[in-house]
Amino acid sequence: MKRRQLLKTAALSGLVAALYAAPLHAQDKPLKIGVTGGPHAQIMEVVKKVVEKDGVKLQIVEFSDYVQPNAALAAGDLDANSYQHLPYLEAQIKDRGYKFSSVGYTITFPMGIYSKKIKSLKDLKEGARFGVPNDPTNGGRGLLLLQSQGLIKLKPEAGLKATALDIVSNPKKLKILELDAAQLPRSLDDLDAAAINGNYAESAGLSPTRDAIAIEEAKGPYANVIAVRTEDKDKPWVAKLVKAYHSPEVKQFIAGKFKESVITSW
Q: Express each pLDDT in 180-202 by its tens digit.
A: 999 999 999 999 999 999 889 98
Asked whether residue 3 is assigned to any structural domain, the reply reads: no
pLDDT band at 5 (very low <50, low <70, confident <90, very high): low
Residue from 130, 134, 158 nearest 144 by CA: 158
Asked whether residue 121 is assigned to any structural domain, the reply reads: yes
User: Whole-prediction pTM value?
Assistant: 0.73
Burial pattern 101-133, b for ≥16 Cβ within 10 A else e, equals bbbbbbbbbbbbbbbeeeeebeebeeebbbbbb
CATH code, domain carrying 251: 3.40.190.10
Question: Same domain for 99 and 130?
Answer: no
Q: Write down the mean pLDDT value for the chain.
A: 89
Q: Phi/psi at 68 (nearest 5 deg)?
A: -65, -35
Tens-digit pLDDT profile for residues 245-263: 999 999 999 999 987 788 8
Asked whether residue 1 is assigned to any structural domain, the reply reads: no
SS3 content of the chain, % helix, strand, coil (to 5): 45, 20, 30
Show which of 215, 237, 254 is a domain's final residue: 215
Question: Same domain for 117 and 241?
Answer: no
pLDDT band at 27 (very low <50, low <70, confident <90, very high): low
CB-based contact 176:132 (threshold 8 Å)? yes
Question: Same domain for 105 and 228?
Answer: yes
More confident of the two residues 11 and 179: 179
Asked whether residue 105 is assigned to any structural domain, the reply reads: yes
Question: Same domain for 61 and 126?
Answer: no
In the chain, the number of structural domains is 2
Asked whether residue 247 is assigned to any structural domain, the reply reads: yes
Tens-digit pLDDT profile for residues 120-177: 999 999 999 999 999 888 999 999 999 999 999 999 999 888 999 999 999 999 999 9
Print the domain residue range for 153.
112-215
